[in-house]
Structures are given as C-alpha cells and as structure tokens.
Amino acid sequence: MSIFEAILLTVITASTPLVIAALGELVTERSGVLNLGVEGMMIMGAVAAFAGAQTSGSPYVGIICGIAAGALFSLLFAFLTLTLVANQVATGLALTLLGLGASGMLGEPYVSVPGIRLEEIVVPILSDIPVIGHVLFRQDLIFYLSIALVIGVSWFLFRSRAGLKLRAIGDSHTSAHALGIGVIRTRYLAVMFGGACAGLAGAQLSLVYTPQWAENMSAGRGWITLALVVFASWRPWRVFAGGYLFGAVTILQLHAQAFGLGIPSQFLSMLPYAATIVVLIIISHNRRTTMINTPASLGKAFVPER
C-alpha cells in the first residue's frame, strides 16, 4: 500500500465518527433542541460497544450496545429538558461530565484488554480497482452506515413530510403546535436519534479507530461535532464535507509528527481544535447567513398550553 493510500484510509477512519455524531446533532438541532452532551453520549457509546463486543465476542453486538447506550443517555437529557423543562445548555454540560465520569468507572475493568476489531467488508471486483478500490470498497460496516446516514438524513429533512414537520418545529414550535404537530414527541425522537448516532460514533472509536478502551478516548470529538454542525449551516452534505476536513487536519498533524518536521508536538496536537476556533470565527463574521440558516427555536424551551 502506498503512503497516499494509507493517509486516505486514516483520514476516512478519523472522519467517520465526526460525520456520524454531527448528523445526529444536526437532526436534534433542526428540531429546536441544543444538546451539548454529545461528548458524554459518544464516550458512553464507546465503553458500551467495547464491553458488548468483549462479552459476546462479536463486534456487531458491540455496535448495537453502543447505539443503545447513546440513545438511552440522550433519553435522560430529553426527559430533563423536554418534560421537566430544564435549561438545555446546563443539562448538556452536566450530561457530558456525567458521561465522562461514568464511562471511566464502567470501563475500568477493560483497560489494557485487547479489543475486537470490526472486520472490513470487501466488495468483489470493485475492491480490486487501484487506490479507489482499497480506500472505498474495503471498509468496515460503520463507514458504509455513515454514507447511508448522510443520504438518509438529507432525504428525510428536505424530501419527506416528517422532515418538513421537524424543521417547522425547529423554526417555530408555537406555530407547529397550533397546527397540531406533536412538538414534544417529535423532539424526543430527534434527541434519541442524535444520541443513537453519538453512540454509533463512539462504537467506531473503540471498535475501528483504536480497538481498545481508554478513559476519555473521545478526546473532545463531541465538541468538534457541535462546531461542525454550525460550520455546515445545518446541511447534511456540508456536514459530510466538513467532517472530512476536520478529520484530515487531525491525521495530517499525526503524519507531520511522524515525518519529524521539527514542529513542537504540542502545537500539532492542538491543530484540530485551533482549526475549529478559526472556522467558528469565520462563520460568525457573516452573521446574516448564520441567522438565516439557524433554527429560530434552537435552545428555547416549549411548554404546551394546558
């Protein structure tokens, strides 16, 4: 395998969890809910996936466990913010801290335990194409799920009746409620979908990216996905492009260290997060475009009239 192919493969592996988690958060925010607990849901998905794979001996069972853990953790957020009408920002931050602490406790028995790697799916004939075949047609299940999610979420939001209702709730939950749309029920489903995606992203980290369990292995990726949704202006295909951009920055700083360019390792390690800050500054400069694309009810509590 050439160095170019190796870099492409590592970029795809690093970008996949960002794309999946960001797509889930995009749907959540499109419904008008701001969930800052993506990091917590992702790390809980990672430990649940690793534990499920170790217990069952199957990485596919691990994937299901990761998705379930993320969805259940998001259900706690939904209950607090949608039913009890707690502050969404404070609850999301608390959820992240809870997830980081709980995952460290639950994952302690699995530290230094060899992981079970999710095997590649080899597509006959197409996988033999030089460069492209090895990069695109010899990938794991979660990569193909990420592509399917981009297509599915894009179709759902802009081509389906249910997606239209969800976007209407995000733009004006009061008007949507007046039209008879179930605001709370729709937001519950959107939040759980976001949690399931974050759990799947976490499963990718512990089953594909680095098939092992290490405390805090999400390493701030949940926060990057939040910035990625804004960077993509709440559009699924832009999330896909932005996820690979951030993934490429992450991988290139690792290769820069390997090539011994003489740049301090601490500076290279901060590049993905520095890139996130730069992108947010650029986006904030064009306030008019940001306001047009932002769901008008984002982060606002809704209490139906009784």
pLDDT of residue 20: 97
Beta-carbon contacts of 5 under 8 Å, excluding residues fewer than 6 positions away, are 131, 134, 135
Task: Tell me if 201 sits within 8 A of 20, measured CB to CB.
Answer: yes
Give residue-wise pLDDT tens across range 199-243: 999 999 999 998 999 998 998 899 989 989 988 889 999 999 989
Residue 192 has pLDDT above 90, yes or no: yes
Six token digits for residue 25: 């958060």
CATH class, 3-119+139-293 region: mainly alpha
Beta strands 120-122 and 138-140, pairing class: antiparallel
- Residue found under tokens 């369990």: 213
pLDDT of residue 288: 67
Cα→Cα distances 228→31, 56, 173, 222, 235, Å = 17, 34, 24, 10, 10
Give residue-wise pLDDT tens across range 146-191: 999 999 999 999 999 999 999 999 999 999 999 999 999 999 999 9
Distance separating the N- and C-terminal Cα atoms of the chain: 65
DSSP state of 131: T
Task: Tell me if 108 sits within 8 A of 214, measured CB to CB.
Answer: no
Residue 99, CA atoms < 13 Å, CB-side half-sphere: 37
Helices 38-56 and 221-231: angle between axes, nearest 10 degrees:
130
Distance CA 303, CA 301 (A): 7
Residue with more model confidence, 248 or 105: 105
Q: Where are the domains of the chain?
A: 3-119+139-293
- Mean pLDDT taken over the chain: 89
Bridge partner list, 120: 140
Residue with more model confidence, 157 or 279: 157
pLDDT of residue 274: 77
Instruction: Compute CA 263 distance to the chain's CA centroid, rounded to the nearest angstrom.
Output: 30
pLDDT of residue 173: 94
pLDDT of residue 287: 66
